[in-house]
């Protein structure tokens, strides 16, 4: 599920958020879960049996990537869940009025009580299934990708800027090369790919798919990001969710037919 829908007449629905369904030879995996409604509806339309999912990876603890866990738990209580330890933090967004809106996981961790869900929280990259990896925490190394100042977190009663340390990617070691799945890329897509290149020095990154969170990026930052992306010589760039229209157009302009909109209903084979 995604903000937009690719197949007209498909009966799929869009919703602000992201959820990608992945099948490998051995596993059925969900990367993020959207807000809830579209996961329930679209898996039904696409005949995806949520009860057969064995692995769930959460990119970060925002509601538009985690709310669907509620529907998933109605269908399946036996999967392994992988995320960063900060994923259950009290996440907030500041409004112009100065008020804060809750944007974290929209339920308590106790929702997993009395289920057989195995929760694995780690800051480190991990092979979670054959050929499937989490990136772990992504270091912020460059000076042009910054976390938006609206994102906050409440810790010990104090509201502070959220470093979004929980933001992580998922990596598939596929036949065509590495495929990187991105939630919102809050830590920066270049930082994410630099980190993954260090994790897999022998491998080539074939494709990236997901949200790039560049809706508010300045033209200068956008150009820097695109220049850095070109060094990776990606074969496919599937943009989703929070990438932003201006960023999508700039990517199309530079990378031409390597770019596609990865919306609900898009199927990729790697």
Binding to Fe ion (CB under 5 A) within 192-221 occurs at none
Nearest CB to Fe ion, comparing residues 119 and 147:
147
Q: Residues 6 or more apart from 196 whose CB is under 8 A from it?
A: 135, 169, 171, 178, 180, 205
Contact pattern from residue 22 through residue 61 relative to Fe ion, giving x for each residue in contact according to CB under 5 A and a dash for the rest: ----------------------------------------
Nearest CB to Fe ion, comparing residues 184 and 222:
184
CA-to-CA dists, residue 214 to 22, 50, 210, angstroms: 25, 31, 12
Q: Does residue 184 bind Fe ion (CB under 5 A)? A: yes
- Report the nearest approach of Fe ion to the CB of residue 141 (Å): 20
Q: Does residue 62 bind Fe ion (CB under 5 A)? A: yes
Could you identify the residue written with the tokens 């409604």? Answer: 37
How many other C-beta atoms are found inside a 10 Å radius of the C-beta of residue 155? 12
Q: Does residue 145 bind Fe ion (CB under 5 A)? A: no
Q: Are strands 28-31 and 118-121 parallel, antiparallel or unpaired?
A: unpaired
Binder of Fe ion out of 2, 15, 64, 86 (CB under 5 A) = 64
What tokens does 264 get?
């609900």
Nearest CB to Fe ion, comparing residues 75 and 93:
93
What tokens does 178 get?
């590495």
Could you identify the residue written with the tokens 């939630």? Answer: 183
Q: Does residue 92 bind Fe ion (CB under 5 A)? A: no
Site of interaction with Fe ion (CB under 5 A): 62, 64, 184, 242
């Amino acid at each position: 599920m995604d903000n937009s829908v690719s197949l007209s007449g498909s009966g799929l629905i869009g919703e602000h958020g992201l959820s990608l369904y992945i099948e490998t030879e051995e596993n059925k995996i969900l990367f993020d879960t959207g807000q809830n409604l579209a996961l329930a509806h679209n898996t039904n339309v696409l005949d995806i049996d949520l009860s057969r999912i064995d692995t769930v990876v959460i990119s970060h603890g925002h509601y538009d990537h985690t709310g669907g866990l509620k529907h998933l738990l109605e269908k399946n209580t036996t999967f392994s869940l992988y995320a960063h330890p900060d994923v259950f933090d009290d996440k907030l967004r500041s409004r112009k009025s100065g008020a804060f809106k809750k944007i974290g996981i929209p339920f308590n961790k106790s929702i997993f009580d009395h289920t057989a869900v195995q929760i694995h929280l780690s800051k480190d990259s991990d092979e979670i299934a054959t050929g499937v990896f989490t990136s772990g925490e992504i270091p912020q190394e460059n000076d042009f990708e910054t976390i938006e100042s609206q994102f906050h977190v409440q810790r010990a009663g104090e509201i502070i800027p959220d470093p979004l340390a929980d933001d992580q990617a998922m990596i598939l070691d596929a036949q065509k090369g590495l495929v990187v799945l991105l939630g919102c890329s809050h830590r920066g897509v270049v930082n994410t790919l630099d980190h993954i290149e260090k994790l897999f020095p022998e491998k080539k990154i074939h494709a990236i798919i997901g949200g790039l969170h560049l809706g508010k990026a300045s033209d200068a930052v956008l150009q820097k990001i695109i220049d850095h992306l070109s060094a990776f010589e990606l074969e496919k760039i599937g943009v989703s969710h929070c990438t932003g229209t201006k960023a999508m157009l700039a990517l199309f302009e530079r990378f031409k037919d390597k770019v596609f909109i990865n919306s609900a209903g898009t199927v990729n084979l790697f």
